[in-house]
Chains A and B, each alone.
Chain A
Amino acid sequence: MDRDELREKRERLLGFENSSSTSSNISDNISDSYQQTKFKRIKKFLKETNHQPIIFTTIIVQEQTIEYRNIFIDTLHDERYILKKAIPVGIEHAEQVYIATNYDLGLYGYGDTEGEAVDDLRKSIIECYEDLKEEKELALIPSKMMAYYKEIIEER
């Protein structure tokens, strides 16, 4: 059995008949019933194809998900600055990396843990603010950033 035949068989057995499906819409469309029968199908497939492990690896990659949630931070952990209000931070976790993003400023940070990612973002927020304060004339994006900074940051 060559690779194409194996791929075709895998897709038929696992319910991925539509070969034009992308990994993201396959993940989106995974139903509860699919979840329940997933391992039975994989088991059956591995039995029929003499347990070829390379196919199983592919399946895991296709089902990789990205965790996403929102939190608020109310401090920058820097004695020079106070946050006047809590700011939203989106936390993404994928491929063993956490990314913390503030979409209002368009800044992000990352790390091995959620805490590291948020601290990295805090550092980015402070650095950009200090850089912008030194600018004499602001272009479009920096001026929008500065307007937002004025809403959220107060210096001690």
Chain B
Amino acid sequence: MQVKKDEARSIFRKLEIEHREKHNYGWLRYKERAILPVYFSHGKGDMPGKVGDKFRQSLKINEEQFRALRDCPLDREGYIKILKEKRLI
């Protein structure tokens, strides 16, 4: 699954993932607690197939959910609900 850098950036914005400049990872926060580390591409262009899969896996969602997240129907609230169902929050 190829993920463009802009798509990853847009997912970070949508999920309000905190990401510091030049850091590999950003943190998904919920109620001020760090919940998940999520990898961010660091200046090497788009994420090639396998790296895109790793990015999805770091979000703890399946391909269908990832597509929904990327193509907009899934918002932060819906994503948090998925994590709660998985008892990760």
Q: Which residue numbers of A lie inside 8 Å of B, CB to CB?
A: 66, 92, 94-97, 99, 101, 106-111, 120, 123-124, 127-128, 131-132, 135, 137-142, 145
Contacts and interface: CB of A to CB of B under 8 A. Distances in A.
Given A106-B58, A109-B24, A124-B24, A139 B49 contact: no
B26 to A, nearest CB: 10
A49 B13 CA distance: 51
A97 B50 contact: yes
A96 B33 CA distance: 37
Contacts of A141: 35-37, 88
Interface residues of B, number: 22
B34 A131 contact: yes
- Interface secondary structure of B, over-half rule: mixed
B34 A135 contact: yes
- Specify which of B24, B25, B42 lies most central, judged by the most chain A CB atoms within 10 Å of its CB: B24
Interface in B30-52: 30, 33-37, 39, 42, 44, 48-51
